[in-house]
């Protein structure tokens, strides 16, 4: 059997899936053997099995030495993906009853920095071994998790307590309750993991893709970009930033402005970057009486420095083909100035083929993109609900103050001061704030000669009738989408037949409910792609929620209710 070509062994090896990679296949397949054991049969089998075994690895930061010793020779060529899990220091039981302080964050930052440096040092040595050769490594790095073994949700012991779903204020008269106070994951909800001394991080050419994702322990906004600065061959970046902080706007503003600074420094040098997704996650606000924080630059005309930075830093990237930006955004991302004539703007994003902008209902300057149907329906925000300059516990307060804050903390109060209560009345577009954003979208798309697909979308609240006189609130997409002839809209919209029609023509689809866009706005967006594809345009109103989401929501509600 050793006489078979190696390619046949390699093909057979692909059928022996690991349970982590494909548990459904393993359960239904008779080939449920331990794949690594097959590597001991012969040399051809070893190569075939190791090609699968070392293709994607989940690597803990505590196993870096073993990784360096094990992944050698041809095994390095097989490696295409690393899911990196970074282990932070443990902490004593008494620390569970207070918020993390600067000393805790410094220890976590050091552990995180040491882990990333350790991995990059190893991968850099691989690069040096390939100097002068035509082929190089192409590894996709995902930071999959960052946690301490003391954190409950990663504690594998049977004695690990379940998460307290509703934490109330401690009874100070009860000494036992005070002593056993346990914030669980709330103790680090105001902590962001930072990369220390980013300039000292080794340069790694082997990494071509870099992702960060949703984690209990959140990375500082700027951390992913600082890591990307050391990846000269980066072709794909998908970076998640937790931008949900509502109670302490000073911290949120600082994080966004720091991110803007790093974006300006790093992204213009991303010469081979092909795909970029910047996701600044913010939960949909269900309290329409909430007064959003002003996140703009202090002392300047109200505009979003982060939007400016992303646009300017990516404007001339010749390899960038796909850009997705999600978060609290305004027209600063799309156009230099609302009143600036297109003829005076230096063309940018000339190679970009796909643009996807997903904006929140709130604006960076502290407003809303939607309003009440009638002035009398508007509900004014509560006075003095929070301080715009106050920092959270663990940041600049005394230890006694932080202990007191931990004892006073309750989930219900935190939710109230974070705008989490339900108060819905913003159903109508506020044209004063929304029209400039849509107009900027139309202008930027009109000057992009390579554009194939573009969308400007948000999520709004709609009322779902589930019975006679009974309504429940749900969510619906709202916005506008464009596709060039021969191109298709994103896969999630293919469920609506309206998005699959007229594929051979320019298409402009408005999913804006009963709102009628002003004539000049329709004219601006109707010009997208005209210079390249001619005047013919299919423009129509669609309702993805009514066609796809509403039937699903009704079915789900009836199943859960009855």
471 occurs within a structural domain: no
CA distances from 100 to 88, 111, 180, 183 (A): 13, 15, 17, 10
164 occurs within a structural domain: yes
What's the rounded Cα separation, in Å, for the pair 277 and 103? 33
528 occurs within a structural domain: yes
Is residue 209 a contact partner of residue 236, using CB atoms and an 8 Å limit?
yes
Least confident piece of the model among 32-41, 129-138, 453-462:
32-41
pLDDT at 158: 44
Residues 313, 442 within the same domain? yes
Nearest to 199 by CA among 229, 179, 177: 229
pLDDT digits (tens, 9 = 90+) for 8-22: 655 555 656 554 554
Residues 343, 414 within the same domain? yes
Residues 86, 29 within the same domain? no
What's the rounded Cα separation, in Å, for the pair 234 and 265? 16
Residue 453: pLDDT band by 50, 70, 90 thresholds? Answer: very high
278 occurs within a structural domain: yes
503 occurs within a structural domain: no
Tokens, residue 377: 């329906």
pLDDT digits (tens, 9 = 90+) for 484-515: 999 999 988 988 999 999 999 999 999 999 99
Residues 28, 162 within the same domain? no
Mean pLDDT of 184-213: 95
pLDDT at 414: 86
Beta bridge partners of 511: 479
Mean pLDDT of 124-130: 80
**Domain boundaries, position 280:** 77-458+479-496+514-533
Residues 207, 295 within the same domain? yes
Residues 206, 270 within the same domain? yes
Residue 311 has pLDDT above 90, yes or no: yes
Tokens, residue 483: 């596709």
Mean pLDDT of 35-58: 62
pLDDT at 22: 45
Residue 317: pLDDT band by 50, 70, 90 thresholds? Answer: very high
pLDDT digits (tens, 9 = 90+) for 204-252: 999 999 999 989 899 999 999 999 999 999 999 999 999 988 889 999 9
Count of domains in the chain? 2
Mean pLDDT, the chain, whole residue set = 85
Residues 274, 418 within the same domain? yes
557 occurs within a structural domain: no
SS3 of residue 373 by DSSP: coil
474 occurs within a structural domain: no
Residues 311, 359 within the same domain? yes
Residues 188, 147 within the same domain? yes
306 occurs within a structural domain: yes
Residues 145, 31 within the same domain? no
pLDDT at 153: 56
Residues 31, 151 within the same domain? no
Q: CB 432: neighbour CB atoms within 10 A?
A: 10
Residue 157 has pLDDT above 70, yes or no: no
Instruction: Compute the CA torsion angle 258, 261, 265, 267 (nearest 10 deg).
Output: 80
Residues 355, 427 within the same domain? yes
């Amino acid at each position: 059997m050793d006489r078979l070509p190696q390619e046949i062994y390699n093909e057979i090896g692909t059928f022996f899936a690991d349970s982590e990679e494909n548990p459904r296949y393993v359960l239904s397949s008779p080939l449920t053997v331990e794949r690594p054991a097959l590597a001991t049969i012969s040399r051809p089998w070893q190569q075939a099995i190791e090609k699968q075994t070392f293709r994607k690895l989940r690597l803990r930061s505590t196993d870096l030495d073993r990784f360096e010793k094990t992944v050698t020779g041809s095994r390095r060529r097989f490696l295409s993906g690393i899911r990196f899990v970074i282990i932070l220091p443990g902490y004593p039981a008494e620390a569970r009853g207070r918020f993390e302080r600067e000393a805790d964050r410094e220890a976590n930052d050091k552990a995180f920095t040491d882990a990333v440096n350790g991995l990059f040092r190893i991968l850099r040595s691989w690069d040096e071994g390939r100097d002068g050769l035509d082929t190089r490594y192409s590894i996709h790095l995902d930071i999959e998790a960052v946690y301490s073994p003391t954190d409950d949700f990663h504690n594998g012991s049977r004695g690990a307590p379940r998460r307290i779903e509703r934490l109330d204020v401690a009874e100070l008269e009860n000494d036992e309750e005070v002593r056993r106070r346990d914030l669980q994951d709330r103790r680090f909800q105001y902590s962001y993991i930072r990369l220390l001394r980013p300039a000292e991080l080794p340069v790694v050419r082997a990494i071509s893709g870099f992702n960060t994702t949703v984690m209990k322990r959140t990375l500082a906004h700027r951390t992913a970009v600082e890591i990307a600065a050391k990846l000269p061959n980066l072709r794909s970046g998908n970076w998640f930033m937790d931008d949900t902080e509502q109670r302490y706007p000073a911290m949120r503003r600082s994080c966004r402005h720091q991110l803007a600074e790093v974006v300006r420094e790093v992204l213009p040098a991303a010469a081979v970057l092909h795909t970029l997704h910047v996701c600044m996650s913010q939960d949909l606000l269900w309290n329409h009486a909430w007064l959003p924080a002003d996140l703009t630059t202090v002392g300047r005309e109200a505009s979003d420095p982060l939007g400016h930075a992303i646009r300017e830093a990516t404007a001339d990237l010749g390899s960038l083909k796909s850009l997705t930006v999600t978060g609290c955004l305004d027209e600063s991302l799309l156009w230099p100035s609302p009143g600036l004539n297109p003829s005076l703007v230096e063309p940018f994003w000339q190679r970009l083929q796909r643009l996807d902008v997903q904006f929140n209902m709130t604006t960076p300057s502290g407003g809303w993109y939607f309003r009440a149907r009638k002035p009398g329906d508007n509900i004014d925000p509560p006075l003095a609900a929070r301080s715009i300059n106050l920092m959270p516990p663990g940041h600049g307060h005394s230890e006694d103050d932080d202990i007191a804050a931990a004892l006073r903390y309750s989930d219900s109060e935190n939710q109230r001061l974070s705008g989490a209560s339900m108060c819905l009345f913003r159903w109508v577009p506020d044209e004063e704030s929304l029209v400039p954003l849509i107009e900027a979208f139309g202008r930027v798309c009109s000057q992009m000669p390579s554009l194939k697909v573009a969308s400007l979308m948000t999520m709004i609240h709609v009322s779902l009738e589930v019975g006679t006189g009974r309504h429940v609130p749900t969510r619906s997409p709202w916005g506008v989408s464009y596709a060039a002839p021969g191109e298709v809209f994103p896969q999630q919209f293919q469920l609506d037949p309206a998005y699959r029609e007229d594929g051979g023509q320019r298409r402009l689809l408005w999913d804006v409910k009963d709102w009628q866009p002003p004539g000049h706005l329709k004219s601006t967006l109707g010009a997208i792609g005209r210079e390249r594809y001619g005047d013919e345009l299919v423009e129509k109103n669609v309702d993805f929620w009514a066609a796809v989401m509403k039937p699903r929501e009704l079915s789900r509600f009836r199943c859960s209710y009855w």
